Amino acid sequence: MYLSTEYKTLIKIKKAKRGTLFFVENFVKIANAKTVNKALERMVKTGELQRLSKGIYYRPANSKLIGELTPNIETVVLAIAKRDKARIVPTGSYALNQLGLSTQVPTNFIYLTDGSARKLIIGNSRITFKKTSPKNVSAVGEISGLVIQALKTIGKDNVKFNEIQHIQNLLKKEKHTRLEHDIRLAPAWIREIMIPVLKQLKNEQS
């Protein structure tokens, strides 16, 4: 029995839980990109899907309190990285916000990546993936990787004593093996901030 592209696409979508993100590339085994795109756009018109940005869709999830839920920026970024098999790391004001070094809620999210450079707009937010060398996305610690980028954003001559204290307290939550790895990736002045924490963690392990 012949099944239309739209019907086969819809079957796959309905098997996924609500809130799941979909890219055109998820359906390349069903039909070519142009045909799939048309099918997805028809589903947007029927309300089965919502279009988040060009080529990015999601199956709406609902909350009894606030109604329809839109995937957050982090969910979208991680899904793109997974699709592209790319490594990413937040930088700029977003890295500062993530570490509690800034209370400013960013609308411009900048990520370094070893994948493709790209820009996309989601609602009022702009996401930028900046192509960089593999070294800059090689950190294995979630906290230590953010710390390196945040300190680079602040700058050697602008970082304050209370910011260093805050960062060092955060680094104590990092696994010492990951911190030891990531220190090698940092500029010399950032290593000086991170090394005392590593020594403390190692002493606690011994």
Residues 197 and 98 reside in one and the same domain: yes
127: three-class secondary structure by DSSP: strand
User: Do 56 and 80 fall within a single domain?
Assistant: no
In terms of domains, do 32 and 85 share one?
no
Query: 175 and 84: one domain?
Result: yes
* Residue 60, domain extent: 5-68
Q: Model pTM?
A: 0.84
pLDDT truncated to tens, each residue of the chain (206 aa)? 345 777 777 788 888 888 889 998 888 888 888 888 888 888 899 888 899 988 899 988 877 777 777 888 999 999 999 999 999 999 999 999 999 999 888 889 999 999 999 999 998 899 999 999 999 999 999 999 999 999 999 999 999 999 999 999 999 999 999 999 999 999 999 999 999 999 999 888 76
Give ∠ CA 17-23-28 in degrees, rounded to 5. 105
Domain boundary among the residues 68, 85, 105 is at 68
Q: Buried b vs exposed e over 123-144: b needs ≥16 C-beta within 10 Å?
A: eebebbbeebeeebbebebebb
Q: How many domains does the chain have?
A: 2
CATH number of the domain residue 39 falls in:
1.10.10
Say whether both 44 and 131 belong to one domain.
no
